[in-house]
């Protein structure tokens, strides 16, 4: 079922959902199930599965020289979605990236998704690769998430890239996109970034999931500004519980977000990461309670492959 229909059917009740990361290639999918299992008691109507960007690896040729190759360490997003849907009878949402894929490759992935009965896809640009200073699409790839949304919307009308025959049965994907309460790191301003978000919605996006934030006022202001900019689709808040001390440096550095001073001080005063995890859980519970009281459609958790803290948070809310 479409995310937008799940929200409609909930009739104002806040739903619980979360995101998982595919295991490293070669490892067993059981690890993933072990992390999903404890969260199923909170009845997530959908689970997101991320897609990783490619990485450069260097193969030692043995003569002091290295070959530079490109690989993807966590492939398998669509296959994992199919297995989650089969095992748990919930919707699974693959994240599709512009980065690293030609439009043709994206079309084939979408065809697979349609065959597998996947009703929702999350359309994202992806970040630059680690060694690159800025994002570059591959030749013949989508440059922005709005281009990817447009490609999916075309497919929803039965328009394939190069074929001009009429198709009787075609996809009807519900399309999610990313939104940034503290603006995307490359955007010159929040207002410009919101205009870009509006372009994604105008191209066919049906809902927005936000980047993590730790100050609810930033989410509330973002929603107000988005509504004023004519964005009228559901805006689902993304919540990340702090789990280790290193997050104090890492999260602002990687995601260009601010952390509240009281959270920083509470984490800094922790003796070990077990205590940090508890602080992160308590902070996320308070944050989630306020968002739920404000009537957000869904609380979406970034589990980063570990479910114990999300389980502790959800048990206080759902
Ligand atoms: P876009 O919407 O394309 O925006 C990227 C930047 O370009 C913004 O600064 C925007 O303002 C600007 N822009 C947009 N259109 C134009 C235009 N026409 N001209 C000029 N500038 C423009 N990454 C992954 O690798 N895998 C994942 O699974 C993944 N999941 C995510 C899930 C969520 C909910 C979120 C919030 C992020 C996720 N990301 C993921 C990270 C995401 O790929 C990065 O944040 C990326 O840098 C931007 O992606 P986007 O889809 O927001 O890009």
Give CATH for domain 3-314: 3.20.20.220
Structure tokens that stand for 173 in this block: 């994907």
With a Cβ cut-off of 6 Å, ligand 1 is lined by: 50-51, 53, 95, 97, 124-127, 144-146, 178, 184, 186-187, 193, 196, 200, 209, 211, 238
Q: How many angstroms does the Cα of residue 196 sit away from the middle of ligand 1?
A: 10
- Roughly what angle, to the nearest 10 degrees, separates helices 190-203 and 145-156? 10
**Complex ipTM above 0.90?**
yes
d(CA 310, CA 318): 11
Burial class (CB in 10 A: 0-12, 13-18, 19+), 106: buried
For residue 197, the CA-to-ligand 1 centroid distance in Å is 10
Residue numbers annotated as active site: 19
Q: Domain ranges in the chain?
A: 3-314
d(CA 103, CA 107): 6
Per-residue pLDDT in tens (0 to 9) along the chain, 318 residues: 999 999 999 999 999 999 999 999 989 999 999 999 999 999 999 999 999 998 888 888 888 898 988 898 999 999 999 999 999 999 999 999 999 999 999 999 999 999 999 999 999 999 999 888 999 999 999 999 999 999 999 999 999 998 877 777 789 999 999 999 999 999 999 999 999 999 999 999 999 999 999 999 999 999 999 999 999 999 999 999 999 999 999 999 999 999 999 999 999 999 999 999 999 999 999 999 999 999 999 999 998 878 999 999 999 999
């Amino acid at each position: 079922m479409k995310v937008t229909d799940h929200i409609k059917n909930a009739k104002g009740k806040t739903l619980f959902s979360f995101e998982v990361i595919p295991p490293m290639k070669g490892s067993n999918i059981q690890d993933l199930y072990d992390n999903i299992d404890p969260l199923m008691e909170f009845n997530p109507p959908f689970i997101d599965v991320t897609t990783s960007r490619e990485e450069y690896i260097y193969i030692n040729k043995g003569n002091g020289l290295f070959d530079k190759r490109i690989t993807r360490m966590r492939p398998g997003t669509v296959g994992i979605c199919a297995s989650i849907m089969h095992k748990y009878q919930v919707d699974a949402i693959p994240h599709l990236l512009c980065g690293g894929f030609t439009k043709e490759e994206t079309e084939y992935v979408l065809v697979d998704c349609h065959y597998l009965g996947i009703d929702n896809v999350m359309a994202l640009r992806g970040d630059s690769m680690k060694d690159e200073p800025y994002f570059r699409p591959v030749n013949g790839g989508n440059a922005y998430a709005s281009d990817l949304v447009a490609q999916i919307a075309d497919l929803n009308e039965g328009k394939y890239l190069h074929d001009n025959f009429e198709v009787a049965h075609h996809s009807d994907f519900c399309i999610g996109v990313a939104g940034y309460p503290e603006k995307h790191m490359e955007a010159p301003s929040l207002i410009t970034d919101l205009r870009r978000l509006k372009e994604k919605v105008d191209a066919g996006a049906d809902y927005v999931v936000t980047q993590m934030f730790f100050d609810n006022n930033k989410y509330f202001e973002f929603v107000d500004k988005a509504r004023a900019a004519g964005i009228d689709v559901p805006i689902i808040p993304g919540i990340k519980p702090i789990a280790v001390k290193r997050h104090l440096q890492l999260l602002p550095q990687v995601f260009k977000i601010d952390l509240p001073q009281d959270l920083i001080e509470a984490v800094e005063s922790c003796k070990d990461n077990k205590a940090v995890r508890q602080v992160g859980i308590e902070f996320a519970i308070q944050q989630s309670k306020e968002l739920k009281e404000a009537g957000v459609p869904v609380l979406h958790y970034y589990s980063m492959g570990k479910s114990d803290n999300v389980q502790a948070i959800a048990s206080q809310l759902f």
